[in-house]
Structure 1
Amino acid sequence: MSEKATGAAEPADAATESFVAHRNLLFTVAYEMLGSAADAEDVLQETWLRWTGVDLEDVRDQRAYLVRITTRQALTRLRTLGRRRESYVGPWLPEPLLTTPDVAEDVELADSVSMAMLLVLETLGPTERAVFVLREVFDFPYEEIAEAVEKSPATVRQIAHRARAHVAARRPREVVTPAQTRHAVEAFQRAVETGDPRKLLDILAPDVVLLTDGGGKVRAALEPFVGAELVAGLFVRVPDLNEVEPVQVNGHPAMLLRRDGKIDTILALRLDGGLISGFYVVRNPEKLTGVEREVTLSR
């Protein structure tokens, strides 16, 4: 290999090493901004293409530079997705992300990618969402966030304060211990298997909410179901719900339901005070392909 060819390879190798080293961070930033693993992967592809055109000698902090590219690409995509979601059929839920027990043990990370938190983040504007994720989840300095969102540090501080107050008013009421989580999940499974609505009522919060996302592609409720009596009755009437596989989705307990060998539904749970306060039922086939692929690869 010639000296010229060798010299050309070194920067490319350095760029690849840096991108791979920070890939998990970049994916999580993009996913928390977009609520979609597929879109987050697309953003990472766009980030990589731009990163390969950067002269690394001009980059002081490669991590910050990569996050800046990712954030800007995610903001562009988020604004497009926002217009699409306005015409979405029925409730919109984030694309489920299969996670490991390690993520669940990291309470802050698990909370930041939970279905409940991602739905709260949906109520923020694109820039507010980016600022909240970078500051509150990853503790980036205001100056770096300002460069990423193309605002002044003073403006970013104001946005962060506003977003923090908005999220604090809507996030889960209290931290749930692993023991409480196990108890609630096991009790829910037993109650569904026996078909006893009274046992379900014992573990459901009075104001429990069930959201179903079919995206207009499969059968799903177009409005939320609210209240323990109503939600308990729904689970008693749903066929084959006892044929489930417990999994971790978005850092929290969930159940995977198959029909004819394929994933048909992901049922994610939200807990408050040891009771189940939310069910997030994802049935849109386009949002299940990533989990199907991950489950297949893990076998």
Structure 2
Amino acid sequence: MRIDAALAWAIAELCESESPAVDAKVLLSHVIDKTQVYLFTWPDKRLSADELSHFKTLVAKRVQGIPVAYLTGSRDFWTLHLATSPHTLIPRPDTEVLVEQTLACIASAQFASALVHNKQESAKPVSSEPVKSELTVCDLGTGTGAIALALASELPNANVTGIDLLHEAVQLATSNAALNHITNAQFKQSSWFDNLAGEKFHVIVSNPPYIEISSPFLQQGDVRFEPASALTSGTDGLDDIRHIIALAPTHLFEGGLLAFEHGFDQAKAVGDLLKAQGFVNVCTERDYGGNDRVTYGYLSTTR
């Protein structure tokens, strides 16, 4: 079968998918180990019997609902190519908003002027220049390492630590660091802050579980195949966010940044929780679909 015929067949098979053409191209590119540009440049190239069989198997699994990222074992995020696993969430484009906003906050004069590296430095004048070095960043619930590695790639002088409850996730994130030649990120196994006693950071970011356990969303699309432990967090979806906010001041330097990805209708609740715990200049940013998605604040220096 020719490439163009194989794509046409797959698109018809995947008609119930949200993006049949995209899925078909990604799967076929994976099978023949070529770029999607190749598919359009050489539409008359014929697939081998093994390639066609493999392609049909993957399309059949996608028809069953299995996520493309699990079928190919990879997903692009930011400027990175990441291996994926059913043990972790699939990195999504909207999570890049958390990366973008974190980088913008780090680059701001407000962050630099509020930052106190340690008690000895507190009496010294703080530069008004954006902080770019000697920065410590923690990504809670790192999964594939997507957020941690994206930040590490943009902040080569920073020391980035990714935390995850699952040993499998820590292994995967560590492998993804090597895959993308990133050397300033390390990964540890911990239930949130449990294994971080005495450690402090200038920035803590998290895309924690934030879906209500009774949400019908859990029965739709790719999330049906993703680990529930990485998706749900109590009856209102905020249990883990509450826990992180309550403990974060112990692990943040004064003036430090705490930033979350959250549900589209949770911005006010997250903002209120941050303010109640002594965070100031709390703001919310929208994702690419126009939904409230990222809320952040700075630990007050006058607590």
Pairwise same-fold verdict (TM > 0.5): no
Specify which structure has the bigger relative contact order, considering alpha-carbon pairs within 8 angstroms and separated by 6 or more residues.
Answer: 1
Higher fraction of helix = 1
